[in-house]
A = this chain, B = another copy of it.
Amino acid sequence: MSPHATRVGKDKILDVAEGLFTERDYKSVSIRDIAQACGVTNAALYYHFENKEMLFAEVLENHAQQLSDHMRQAAVGVEDRREQLIAILSRYASLAGHRRSPLFLLRHKAAGLDKQKAVRQHERLFQAILLPIEEVLVGAVDDGELQPLPAGYSAASLLLGMLHGMTQHRRMCHQESIQPEDVEVVVDVFWGGLQR
- A126 / chain B contacts, CB cutoff of 8 Å: 168, 172
A158–B127 contact, CB under 8 A? Answer: no
A154–B169 contact, CB under 8 A? Answer: yes
In the complex, the chain B residue whose C-beta lies closest to that of A163 is B161
A189 to B195, CA, bound (A): 9
A1 adjacent to chain B (CB < 8 Å): no
A60 adjacent to chain B (CB < 8 Å): no
A165–B166 contact, CB under 8 A? Answer: no
A34 adjacent to chain B (CB < 8 Å): no
A64 adjacent to chain B (CB < 8 Å): no
B160–A165 contact, CB under 8 A? Answer: yes
- A194 / chain B contacts, CB cutoff of 8 Å: 189, 192-193
A153–B166 contact, CB under 8 A? Answer: yes
Binary CB contact string for chain A from 149 to 183 against chain B (1 if under 8 A, 0 otherwise): 11001100111111111101101100000000010
A-B contact pairs, 16 of them (CB 8 A): A123-B171, A123-B172, A130-B169, A153-B185, A154-B166, A160-B165, A161-B161, A161-B166, A161-B168, A162-B165, A164-B165, A165-B165, A191-B193, A192-B193, A192-B195, A193-B194
Can you list the 3 inter-chain pairs with the closest CB atoms, starting with the nearest?
A161-B165, A193-B193, A157-B169
